[in-house]
Structure 1
Amino acid sequence: MPETLSYQIDLNCPIGADVRQGTKRFGELKRAINGVTQSMLTGQLRALEKDGLVHREVFPEVPPRVEYSATELALDLQPVFLALHDWWKRHE
């Protein structure tokens, strides 16, 4: 795992919540995040994949199907992220 993460943690961002709930396709994630652009979501997912928190699977179909799911590392960090989110909400 890299010494520094290559993305910013946004505690309001539902990417983590959606991916933790099972495998999701790109379009499902994009619809779940109000106002996110395709390039913003692509960048975040690539960074999360690079850091080992999201698994990306590409299926050789036409059109291509890509699915995202949380890795074991991400699931292990879930209590930490939830505690951080609770702290943030108390100090808004």
Structure 2
Amino acid sequence: MVDRGATSCGTSGVLYAVIAFLTASQCTWVYSCTYRTMMRAQFGLPEAPCADCLVHLCCEPCALCQQHRELTARGLGPVYGWDFNAATYPTPAQGMRRR
């Protein structure tokens, strides 16, 4: 969703799995934090209270869940992929919201 369909779900999953395999799951946060940075730039979100990579390093599952919730709150259906959402892509609102 964040890279607007440039990378398929399967390709991203394989890249993540290869990184996990080669680094014994120690460096997967490096790959996933790049998507958080892209999402912040796309929606104009602040990098607060700490850097994107630090968020993913400390608690990657929580960071990924937060990103999924943000996309869902903006009316995007991450499970459907970019092609499905592109036709009805909403105007992004500013600021990250909590539920």
TM-score after normalising by structure 2 = 0.32
The structure with the greater share of residues assigned to helix is: 2
More strand by share: 1
